[in-house]
Amino acid sequence: MNKQEMKEAILEAKFEKGLSWNDVAKAAGLSPEYVCSACLGMNHLEKPEADKVAEALGFDSAMSTALQRFPTKTWDSTIPTDPLIYRWYEMLNVYGETIKEMINEKFGDGIMSAIDFTMNIDRQEDPKGDRVLVTISGKFLPYKSW
């Protein structure tokens, strides 16, 4: 089973069982954001967690094996048309240089890791309309001279 087949099967099973990413993640003992990313094929799970996710979704060892395989992280070079994903591209296009400038000013010349990284997505109630709260935390990696 390749990652694309895995992703499609997981999304179908999750829908059919009426599970949330919180439900699936709880079975694995990991964050919903990371488990979701692994189930969509962009990260992998270690065997114990992969077994638990596969079981929670009603799959056998073939699904666990697929979840354990290391991903090839690629994406289309075109801007996605899905409105929610497109808005992230828009935010980075508008604020990307600002984010870079602010990080460089506060930390120096370097990057924020997307490997030593966490992300939480929450709902924030607001009387004017609920808000999406995304918290991203990545280790700062300074460039070095040699």
90 is catalytic: yes
Query: What secondary structure does DSSP assign to 64-93, as a single string?
Result: HHHHHSPP-----SSPP-SHHHHHHHHHHH
The tokens of 79 are what?
């801007």
25, 31 Cβ separation under 8 angstroms: yes
Annotated catalytic residue: which of 20, 61, 113, 137? 113
113 is catalytic: yes
Burial class of residue 1 in the structure, from the number of CB atoms within 10 Å of its CB (0-12 exposed, 13-18 middle, 19+ buried): middle
Annotated catalytic residue: which of 5, 8, 16, 90? 90
- Spell 82-112 as b/e; 16+ CB within 10 A means b: eeeeeeeeeeeeeeeeeeeeebeeeeeeeeb
Closest CA to 72 of 94, 42, 105: 42
Annotated catalytic residue: which of 87, 97, 101, 137? 87
Residues for the chain: how many in total? 146
| Catalytic (active-site) positions | 87, 90, 113
